[in-house]
Amino acid sequence: MRVQKRGLGRGLESLIPGIGQRTDVPLIVQDDSTNSADSADSATDNRESAGEGGALLRNLPLSKIVPNPNQPRKYFDEESFSELVSSVKEYGLVQPVVVRASGSLFELVVGERRWRAAKEAGLKTIPAIVRNTSDVEALEIAIIENVQRQDLNPLEEAAAYYHLIEDFGFTQNQLAERVGKQRSTIANTIRLLKLPESVKTLVIEGKISVGHAKVLLSLLNPKAQIRLAERIIREGMTVRQAEDQVWLSQNPPKRTPSQSMPLYFRQMARDLGKQLSTKVLVKIQGEKGRVEIHFSDEAELERILNTLAGEKKPHNA
């Protein structure tokens, strides 16, 4: 049976009207050899198209675009970024970024990686959807776009959720509805921020999985979390094996009385047990103690008592 994936609560089309619709404005950015300052200004002034809800598609100079300080994505894979730069050099930037006006400049809402690649490729202008958005809506759009693309690493996603909750007053339930995930998923993702910095780095670098990280959160001691994380990598533990290690650390095997008792008493318990053919325990508490003799039923108890009394077991007739 085919399982349908649950979609995000609000797609980008609902937050950026017109983004999924066809436009007559060309989206291919020219090679930098044909991009001059004059052509950039001309493109900015003349090549724009109004979308629904006040969104405009414009060809903006890269020098007029600045990154968003609240961008949830902080980590960019170098190999895939180099591939994107090569693609942009050959074909231009096909998909527009999303920006909002910020004084005389434009602040990125979606597409910082594409913007960086365009700069690296030497482009002068790029296509951009200009939209009026508040701080909270800009962050929401950025999170949804990155989650849809699966571009955020787990810690970036956790930090973005935390930012929306702490700085913009979202509840976990509201946030879960907006991004189309279970509330428990949001809560568990945010908990990753409690890990030690060195362990967070291991998650970001993909050396341990999110499943491993959630297991580590079961340990309250940060040093214990770090030690187990290092063991997970060194020994190649699965998540289940890591869970077993946490359980063992929280439920250490109890020492039996025979392990903590002086040798004399342990030997006495063994000898008496052999003589009575049953399990015998000697327990010491300070200067006092007691002897426990185990039996399984009334007949065995009678046999043990007879043995202690020095009586021989009667022969069967």
Q: Which residues are catalytic?
A: 112
Whole-number Cα distances in Å, 246 to 6, 16, 242: 32, 46, 6
Concatenating the DSSP letter of every residue in the chain gives -PPPPPPPSS-HHHHSTTTTS--SS--PPPPGGG--HHHHHHHHHH-EEE-GGG-EEEEEEGGGEE--TT-S-----HHHHHHHHHHHHHH---SPEEEEEETTEEEEEE-HHHHHHHHHHT-SEEEEEE----HHHHHHHHHHHHHHHT-S-HHHHHHHHHHHHHHH---HHHHHHHHT--HHHHHHHHHGGGS-HHHHHHHHTTSS-HHHHHHHTT---HHHHHHHHHHHHHHT--HHHHHHHHHHHHSPPPPPHHHHS-HHHHHHHHHHHHHHTS-EEEEEETTEEEEEE--SSHHHHHHHHHHHTTPPPPPP-
